[in-house]
């Protein structure tokens, strides 16, 4: 018997609710299996869906509910800043908060002269690639310690035709080693404290890479390390922008202020009113 699109979605929502899984994912997954735009998806809510698509969709919903595997891994991609990025277990699944970091950098970047930008801890490459595509005057470098993450980031850069130089190493070290200096340094580093592990969903703990999530020193290790490398990596008058955990604003602000006492360091809130970005213009 043929099933209408809204009936298939209703089944998925009930199934996911029963297994305490988020239901928002069902729509994204169904849209993916139907291979339609968002507008088309809503327009055809009362249309019949071919049986083979219903079966594939149901199988993915059951797998997600039973194992916690993120739908982005089932689909093989996530959308970031309107572009499709391949993802797998080697990279953090892009988060919507990070779009706010990218928007901040784009809004404040000089547009009238050549600039150099470094993305520290690039993962799937979302920050570096978006900046390379949105800021044609920027020479963009992207660093990660994980060779596997860099494979995925390079694939994404190639697929999206973005010109990014990828370096492997410990935070800013490979950039500094080349005697380079940047106008803008941006990072969404690992910032979750080990003590917070139990608060995370098993979808995050089991499927995002450990190295992308956790940081010692109450989640501050990466900020401390990057800030200690900054004086050798940034140009005077350059700027820094970090994504932060919503309780880390004051601590990261103080760390930056200690290293650059003359600079003004700002904590910015995200769309939900939570501290999300710490930025500074370096003097
Ligand atoms: C929170 S993820 C961010 C990934 C990506 N920039 C994003 O926003 O989705 C942090 C990234 O930092 C990388 N990383 C962790 N420790 C590092 C280190 N010591 N040096 C360079 N990168 C590191 C991880 O491999 C991971 O890709």
| Separation CA 146–CA 13 (nearest Å) | 37
Which ipTM did the prediction report? 0.99
Burial 66-77 (b: 16+ CB within 10 A, else e): eebbbbbbbbeb
In this predicted structure, what is the pLDDT of residue 167? 98
In this predicted structure, what is the pLDDT of residue 36? 95
Q: Which of 19, 55, 84, 78 is nearest to 207 (CA)?
A: 78
Torsion of CA 223, 229, 234, 237, to 10 degrees: 60
CB under 6 Å to ligand 1: residues?
A: 92, 94, 98, 121-124, 126-127, 143-146, 149, 170-171, 188-190, 211-212
Q: Which of 42, 46, 43, 17 is nearest to 27 (CA)?
A: 42
The tokens describing 213, both together, are 């999530």
To the question of whether residue 217 is assigned a binding role by annotation, the answer is: no
Interval 51-95: pLDDT, tens: 999 999 999 999 999 999 999 999 999 999 999 999 999 999 999
Residues 6+ apart with CB under 8 A from 40: none
Residue 21 CA to ligand 1 centre (angstroms): 27
| % the chain with pLDDT above 90 | 94
Residue 92 CA to ligand 1 centre (angstroms): 8
Geometric angle at alpha carbon 24, from 103 and 269, rounded to 5°: 30
Mean pLDDT of 100-114: 97
To the question of whether residue 245 is assigned a binding role by annotation, the answer is: no
Q: Which of 139, 168, 162, 138 is nearest to 85 (CA)?
A: 162
Residue 47 CA to ligand 1 centre (angstroms): 43
CA 213 to ligand 1: nearest atom: 1
Q: Using DSSP bridges, classify how beta strands 138-144 and 115-120 pair: parallel, antiparallel or unpaired.
A: parallel
| Separation CA 32–CA 53 (nearest Å) | 10
- Cβ pair 49, 28 in contact under 8 A: no
Q: Whose CA is nearest to atom 27 of ligand 1?
A: 123
CA 93 to ligand 1: nearest atom: 9
Check pLDDT > 80 for residue 1: no
Burial 124-135 (b: 16+ CB within 10 A, else e): bbbbbbbbbbeb
- Cβ pair 172, 185 in contact under 8 A: yes
Phi, psi of 43 (to 5 degrees): -65, -30
Residue 120 CA to ligand 1 centre (angstroms): 7
Residues 6+ apart with CB under 8 A from 102: 81, 126, 127, 130, 131, 134
HSE-up (13 A, CA, CB side) for residue 17: 6
Interval 248-274: pLDDT, tens: 999 999 999 999 999 999 999 999 999
Q: At what angle do helices 51-67 and 24-34 cross, to 10 degrees?
A: 140
Interval 190-233: pLDDT, tens: 999 999 999 998 889 999 999 999 999 999 999 999 999 999 99
Whether pTM exceeds 0.90: yes
């Amino acid at each position: 018997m043929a099933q209408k699109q809204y009936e298939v979605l209703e089944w998925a929502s009930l199934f996911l609710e029963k297994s305490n899984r988020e239901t928002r994912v069902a729509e994204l997954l169904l849209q993916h299996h139907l291979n339609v735009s968002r507008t088309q998806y809503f327009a055809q809510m009362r249309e019949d869906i071919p049986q083979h698509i219903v079966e594939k969709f149901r199988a993915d919903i059951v797998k997600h509910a039973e194992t916690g595997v993120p739908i982005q891994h089932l689909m093989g991609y996530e959308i970031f800043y309107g572009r499709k990025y391949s993802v797998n277990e080697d990279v953090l699944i892009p988060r919507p908060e990070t779009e706010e970091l990218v928007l901040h950098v784009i809004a404040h970047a000089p547009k009238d002269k050549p600039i150099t930008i470094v993305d520290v801890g690039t993962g799937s490459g979302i920050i570096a690639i978006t900046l390379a595509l949105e800021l044609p005057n920027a020479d963009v470098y992207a660093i990660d310690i994980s060779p596997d993450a860099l494979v995925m980031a390079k694939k994404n850069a190639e697929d999206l035709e973005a010109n990014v130089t990828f370096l492997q190493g410990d935070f800013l070290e490979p950039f500094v080693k080349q005697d380079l200096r940047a106008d803008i340094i941006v990072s969404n580093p690992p910032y979750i404290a080990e003590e917070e592990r139990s608060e995370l969903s098993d979808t995050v703990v089991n499927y995002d890479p450990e190295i992308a999530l956790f940081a010692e020193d109450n989640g501050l290790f990466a900020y401390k390390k990057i800030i200690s490398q900054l004086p050798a990596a940034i140009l005077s008058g350059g700027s820094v922008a970090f994504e932060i955990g919503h309780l880390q604003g004051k601590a990261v602000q103080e760390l930056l202020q200690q290293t650059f006492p003359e600079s003004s360091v700002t904590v910015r809130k995200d769309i939900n009113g939570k501290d999300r970005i710490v930025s500074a213009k370096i003097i």
